């Protein structure tokens, strides 16, 4: 089975910035000439996560509030003592969501629901340049 590897480069604002990756994912899998397969979308690094949501302003705010309740930025974390930084919460938030999703590809299209988009959540406490890996097996 062939494997195609692509990258999605994005700039984020940090602080639980949510970025819709779906348009770029669609471009990548459309290039497979209508093939069926599976696309894995993966965020290298330990302070960003990949998931699916309905990408709309209300849910973007809800993700921020939800993650802040579970692992707030201002709390004390042992990670801060180890590295003398401020992003222990970012590591925990990203670990909770996870670094990747697998999306079926059917006839060159990601098999997503009508209101479902693939998003990156940048949990870090500062803006970042991210390079998301997309591997498609078909």
User: How far is it, in rounded angstroms, from Cα 16 to Cα 64?
Assistant: 6
pLDDT digits (tens, 9 = 90+) for 44-96: 999 999 999 999 999 999 999 999 999 999 999 999 999 999 999 999 999 99
Give me the residue label for tokens 């290039």: 31
Look up residue 92 and give its two tokens.
């925990």
Look up residue 74 and give its two tokens.
């201002």
The model's confidence at residue 18, banded by pLDDT at 50, 70 and 90, is very high
Task: State the pLDDT at residue 75.
Answer: 96
Task: State the pLDDT at residue 88.
Answer: 97
Task: State the pLDDT at residue 138.
Answer: 94
Show the domains of the chain with their CATH numbers: 3-137 (2.60.120.460)
User: How far is it, in rounded angstroms, from Cα 124 to Cα 52?
Assistant: 19
Instruction: Answer yes or no: is pLDDT of 1 > 90.
Output: no
* pTM beyond 0.85: yes
Closest CA to 95 of 61, 69, 121: 121
Give me the residue label for tokens 């498609």: 136
Instruction: Answer yes or no: is pLDDT of 102 > 90.
Output: yes
The model's confidence at residue 31, banded by pLDDT at 50, 70 and 90, is confident
């Amino acid at each position: 089975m062939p494997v195609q590897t692509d990258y999605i480069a994005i700039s984020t604002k940090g602080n639980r910035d949510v970025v819709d990756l779906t348009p770029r994912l669609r471009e990548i899998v459309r290039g497979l000439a209508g093939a069926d397969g599976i696309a894995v979308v993966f965020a290298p690094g330990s302070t960003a996560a990949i998931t699916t949501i309905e990408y709309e302003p209300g849910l973007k705010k809800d993700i921020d509030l939800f993650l802040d309740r579970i692992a707030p930025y201002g709390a004390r974390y042992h990670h801060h003592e180890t590295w003398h930084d401020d992003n222990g919460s970012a590591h925990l938030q990203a670990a909770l969501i996870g670094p990747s999703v697998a999306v079926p590809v059917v006839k060159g299209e990601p098999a997503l629901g009508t209101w479902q988009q693939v998003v990156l959540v940048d949990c870090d406490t500062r803006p970042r340049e991210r390079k998301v890996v997309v591997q498609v097996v078909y």
